[in-house]
Amino acid sequence: MSSKPFSSVWLREPRKSAAAPGRSREEIVAAAVKLLDEEGLQGLSMRKLGARLGAGATSLYWYVANKDELLELAYDQVWGEVVVPDPDEVGWRDAVSALAYGMRETILRHPWSADLIGRLPALGPNSMRVGDRIRRIFKAAGFQGLDVDFCGNTLTAYVFGMTIPEIAWLSSMGEEDIEQMRDAVRMAASAHPEMLESVDTLAGGDPGTVRRMSFDFGLVSLLDGLERRRAS
């Protein structure tokens, strides 16, 4: 196990900028997000980002302690895009659903963020805002004490666990490799009739639609299960 000491950008005071700073953290983070959206996590290097900003390779280290801090900043930016519903206006089930779909769509819009889930501390203001909202929704639903946290953990686990492989599926191949990939799975599954059956069943529908159906199936099941807990 590696076990490095814990650290995060959000625990350090940012540098105080002078009157007219050439660059700013915001500018750097925005450029990083843009580069990540365009070229993925692998496409981001400190040198490349520096070059894009017309700066020397290592200038960024003035604004940011290291690459991980930059990624923390970019990651929190993504969480800022998640639409958080107001639980007082729509019943808790609808609020949870909206939030789950919102999280999913945001991650799909920034596929590189899926690679960061759980690998980087999520202590930024936007992450906190989403976490806060999740708690409020479940409290408003009537959950208490530890159960409020457990509900939140369960929901985010489901959304993350469902979305991460979705991203992998989408990005590991182009558009028309689909049939080629299905053949691959068929071959890998040749020893297991059940699995083969699965491939063929799924091959019928449009992949995007099937994924959405799958997401909805699990989400509804989860909500049903939570509702049962709440009632008891």
Partner from DNA, a second copy, none contacting 95, C-beta within 5 to 8 A by type: none
Instruction: Name the residue type at position 108.
Output: L
Q: How far is the CB of 14 from DNA (least distance, A)?
A: 10
Closest approach of DNA to the CB of residue 108, in Å: 24
Residue ranges of alpha helices (H) inside 110-205 are 112-116, 125-140, 146-171, 178-188, 193-203
- 34 part of the interface to DNA, by CB under 7 A: no
Quick one: 21 or 125, whose CB is closer to DNA?
Answer: 21
Q: Which helix (H) or strand (E) holds 228?
A: helix 207-231
Q: Which is nearer to DNA, 16 or 228 (CB)?
A: 16
Query: Given the complex with DNA, which of 73 and 151 has the nearer CB atom?
Result: 73
- Nearest approach, Cβ of 52 to DNA (angstroms)? 12
Residue choice 12, 26, 40, 47 for contact with DNA (CB under 7 A):
47
Query: 92-109 and 67-79 are packed helices; what angle lies between their axes, rounded to 10 degrees?
Result: 140
Q: Is the dihedral of CA 229, 158, 156, 204 positive or negative?
A: negative
What's the rounded Cα separation, in Å, for the pair 95 and 200? 35
Near DNA by CB under 7 A: residue from 26, 45, 80, 192: 45
Closest CB 16 distance from DNA, rounded Å? 7
48 lies in the binding site for DNA (CB under 7 A): yes
Distance separating alpha carbons of residues 93 and 91, to the nearest angstrom: 6
Give residues 59-118 in contact with DNA (rule: CB under 7 A): 59, 61-63, 65-68
- Biggest alpha carbon–alpha carbon distance for the chain: 69
| 44: partner contacted, choices a second copy, DNA, none (Cβ within 5-8 A by kind) | DNA
* Inter-CA distances, 139 with 54, 87, 90, 103, Å: 49, 10, 14, 20
Contacting residues toward DNA, per CB under 7 A:
15-18, 21-23, 44-48, 50, 55-59, 61-63, 65-68
